[in-house]
Amino acid sequence: MIDAATEPKLTGARISGTAEQALPWSKAIRFFARFGAYDLATVVLIAALGVMVLCTFKDYAITNDEEVQQRYGELIVAYYTSGFAKQDVFSFQNLYLYGGLFDIIAVALSHVVPIDPYDLRHILCALMGIGGVGAAAATARLIAGPRAALIAAVGLSVSGA
């Protein structure tokens, strides 16, 4: 028979002391400990894609539709900044049938970021692609786990346009 006076009670209370103070990164370590090697590899792959984009964006040539898309973005911005008075955007080829959000972002950033507008478009396109790889990896992780996320990210990264 166990005496109630000698039985230890586990309350779950934390005892503060030098161990907690010695590891200021303990919360971060516990957070990252939830993720395995596949998750780490996926994050490293996506980060490597970002670095690769920033190192190579000046090496790309202008495609056959970039000049048209840039002009379309300028017309959209002019339409909104004129208070909907400039209607040229609706007669510019057939592009009024397509969404222009990307073109608006590219034109707006070209007034703020001091680089060539086409280089900026290349960076934005690449970042959209990397975002797509990340979204596909996150979706695959939710459906089938971290290994599927890495497989999806690698598969999309090595695929051509």
Distance CA 86, CA 112 (A): 23
CB 153 within 8 A of CB 46: yes
Over the stretch 91-117, which tens digit does the pLDDT of each residue have?
998 888 999 999 999 999 999 999 999
Distance CA 36, CA 150 (A): 11
Beta strands in 4-137 (DSSP E): none
What pLDDT score was predicted for residue 7? 59
CB 156 within 8 A of CB 132: yes
How many degrees, rounded to 5, is the angle at CA 34 between CA 29 and CA 35?
100
Query: Would you state the structure tokens that stand for residue 30, as one six-digit string?
Result: 């516990």
Query: Would you state the structure tokens that stand for residue 71, as one six-digit string?
Result: 């002009």
Choice between 35 and 80, residue whose per-residue pLDDT is larger: 80
Residues 32-53, mean pLDDT to the nearest whole number: 92
Distance of CA 85 to the CA centre of its chain: 36
Mean pLDDT, the chain, integer: 87
Residues 118-126, mean pLDDT to the nearest whole number: 94
